[in-house]
Amino acid sequence: MYISTATESNVGNESTHCSLRQGRILLLSYAFPPMQVQMMPAVFKPMASLARLGYEVDVVTASSFCKELPLDDSLLPLAQSTFASVTRLDPPGGLRGRLQQRFNVLQRVPDLMAVLHQPTYEHLMDLDLTRYDAVMTWSPFHSVNAAMARVKKHRRNIRWIAQFSDPWAGNPLEINRLCKLWNIWHEPETVAAADWIVHSSPYSLELMFRGNRQGLRAKTGVLPHVFHSELYPARPKTSDAQIVMRYVGVLYGRRSPEPVFAALGNVFARRPELRGQLVVEIVGLVPPEMLQTAAAQALPQGTIRTVGTVGYMESLRLMHDADILLLIEADVRRNLFLASKVSDYIGAGAPIVGVVPPGASEETMRELGAWYAAPRDIAGIERALEGAIDHVLVGTGRPWWNESFRRTLSGEYVARQFSDIIRES
């Protein structure tokens, strides 16, 4: 067996589980604490909400075998008290493992978790899957779907709900040719075998069901990423002498703060009284050259400050304490999916300024009532910045968002939608 020496079990702990049992779910996802990957929170939050709704959730996931991926222990206590059991799988050992290590390129197609295909398949085949109302798989490690599709060939009566947090075949952000070919080959098998397919964006759903798959659309749905209210600090926002506009995340390539710097420079030129009152804080990785542009250097000294990468719970604290949150998306023709971080921003409650192209994020900003503009619309970004800044300066404390829309992104709301799918799939 390739299972780690211990399965973390929490059966019988009633501290966070609803007393009214709704059913039992097996979650199969390689993105789970303490693995610190972008999609880990997107998996954790709705499944924790399902557990709080009354579902007993068992988890099968990856052990922390991949040293290239950082670790973050901040969600482990909640995982321990929320999920019934967590089983962590290791890559094969012995001759098979050594052979896979020799062919390093192939073992990483389509992703770093591809080495878990056989251990995952064997473990699932050893389980009594009839105990579960459904097996739920979550990407973005798409190799997890190949393992479940293989199981489904032998366990056809098992309900399988496949959730896609980003586009799969045809993903415009995928540049590896081998991965592209693997995705094109394996996506149809998953689409055909799954009993229900969930996307977090209608754009990625449309991408999957282009061409001749329209007859399968009856088993699809779109459910957004969620925020989990209990993860934020249970205290008022900390005060600061300046207005802190905070970006949390990674900046790279076409996802650049340059439009914000240029627009903010124009705002300072028209409203010099704001100089020294505003700080742009970037939390996470940012290429040094992005901070050395003419627009960045033209801002008053001390306007830009950087903070290194932080753990997930610390990122939520920083969102909670921000005066304004900056959402900066890549300057592309159309954004196909809504990042999980957007829901975390919304849950934090701070005013949001979105620098977003057409697509999922823009539509969310509009429905929410946030301030936003396209990355190349410097004048529009100026107006968005000033709108949020003036809202903070007025200081009424009144909600700025569309509450009915915001509620649809809460963990509790989306968990109930998942519950309906579980019952119907």
Largest CA distance in the chain: 69
When comparing pLDDT for 350 and 95, which is higher?
350
**Token output for 128:** 């009594």
Q: How far apart are CA 165 and CA 337, in angstroms?
A: 8
Question: Nearest 5°: phi and psi at 212?
Answer: -100, 25
Sheet of 23-28: strand order equals 8-9, 85-89, 55-62, 23-28, 134-138, 160-164, 196-199, 220-222
Q: What is the pLDDT of residue 212?
A: 63
pLDDT tier for residue 100 given thresholds of 50, 70 and 90: low
Q: How are beta strands 85-89 and 8-9 bridged, if at all?
A: antiparallel
**Distant-in-sequence, close-in-space partners of 99: CB < 8 Å, separation ≥ 6:** none
Question: In this structure, are residues 223 and 244 in contact, taking their beta carbons and an 8 Å threshold?
Answer: no
pLDDT tier for residue 335 given thresholds of 50, 70 and 90: confident
pLDDT (average), residues 71-91: 95
Please identify which residue in the block is written with the tokens 């999957």.
208
pLDDT > 60? residue 17:
no
Q: What is the pLDDT of residue 174?
A: 83
**Token output for 44:** 């954790």
**Token output for 125:** 């085949």
> Interhelix angle for 258-270 vs 378-394, to 10°?
60
pTM over 0.75: yes
pLDDT tier for residue 253 given thresholds of 50, 70 and 90: very high
Ordered domains of the chain (ranges, CATH): 8-226+410-424 (3.40.50.2000), 231-406 (3.40.50.2000)
35-44: buried (b, 16+ CB within 10 Å) or exposed (e) per residue? bbbebbbbbb
Q: How far apart are CA 209 and CA 211, in angstroms?
A: 6
pLDDT > 50? residue 256:
yes
pLDDT in tens, 166-180: 778 888 778 889 999
Residue 310, Cβ neighbours under 10 Å: how many?
16
Q: What is the 3-state secondary structure (H, E, C) of 260-323?
A: HHHHHHHHHHHCHHHCCCEEEEEECCCCHHHHCCHHHHHCCCCCEEEECCCCHHHHHHHHHHCC
pLDDT tier for residue 220 given thresholds of 50, 70 and 90: very high
**Distant-in-sequence, close-in-space partners of 19: CB < 8 Å, separation ≥ 6:** 54
Please identify which residue in the block is written with the tokens 């309900």.
159
